[in-house]
Amino acid sequence: MYFDRIKKILFLIGIPITIIILLIVMSDRSNNEDETQIIDKNEPKDPDDPLSDKATSNEALIDDQQMVVDVKGEVNKPGVYEMEEEDRVINAIEIAGGFTEEADQTQVNLAQRIQDEMVISVVKEGDTEAQTLSVNEKDKLHLNQATLEEIEALNGIGPTKAEAIVQYREENGLFKSVEDLLNVSGIGEKTLEAFQEDIQVP
């Protein structure tokens, strides 16, 4: 009788102790899982990860599409400015603080697309100097901004080659030099010679 009572007491004491031990074990396991997740999240990116390379490539492409222009003459804030690929001369004038009161606005083609290394020189009223110049001749076709129809109109370029040029530009980014066109399917040296004097790259 006495021993039965002791067994019963020990049994009753053992139940809460067992529950406490189980709770401690489960809590430790949960903490370990949380630490593992934190370590994984803060783990440095693998340089060989293709997704990481793709992000770097996209950043480089964005940088390549920045246009740097020199705005001078009759503007309120002359200087060198970074522009976006789709910007036009009017956007550059606005960034440069707009025209001065003496500016001859009729001499500026505000709708002209921005080109890298472009010089936008706003003259005073009465002056007749050129106002918007790029590094190469103004009347050349800017290949990096040209439409499919404009490219197709080049000497020796038909619809197929024009589409190949546009596709190459979309897949590989902006052309850096005229010689890059030789990487386009269907464009050889003879074909390039026929129209290279009519285009501007970049």
CA-CA distance, 121 to 131, in Å (whole number)?
Answer: 5
pLDDT at position 38 is: 43
Q: Which CATH class is domain 141-200?
A: mainly alpha
pLDDT at position 202 is: 67
How distant, in Å, are the alpha carbons of 10, 20, 149, 155 from that of 6? 6, 22, 99, 107
Length of the chain: 202
Closest by CA position to 192, among listed 183, 200, 181, 202: 181
Given a contact cutoff of 8 angstroms between Cβ atoms, the answer to whether 84 and 66 are in contact is: yes
Reported as half-sphere exposure (CB side, CA atoms, 13 A), residue 36 has a value of 6
**What are the domain boundaries of the chain?**
1-37, 66-133, 141-200
Given a contact cutoff of 8 angstroms between Cβ atoms, the answer to whether 93 and 120 are in contact is: yes
pLDDT at position 124 is: 86
Q: At 67, phi and psi to the nearest 5? A: -110, 130
Query: For the chain, which ranges sit under pLDDT 70?
Result: 1-14, 16, 25, 27-65, 128-139, 202
- 118: tokens are 């472009």
pLDDT at position 95 is: 94
CA end-to-end distance (rounded Å), the chain? 102
The answer to whether the predicted template modeling score (pTM) of the entire model surpasses 0.75 is no
CA-CA distance, 114 to 89, in Å (whole number)?
Answer: 6
- 115: tokens are 């080109």
pLDDT at position 134 is: 46
Name residue 195's amino acid.
F
CA-CA distance, 134 to 77, in Å (whole number)?
Answer: 20
The strand pairing partners of 99, in sequence order, are 75
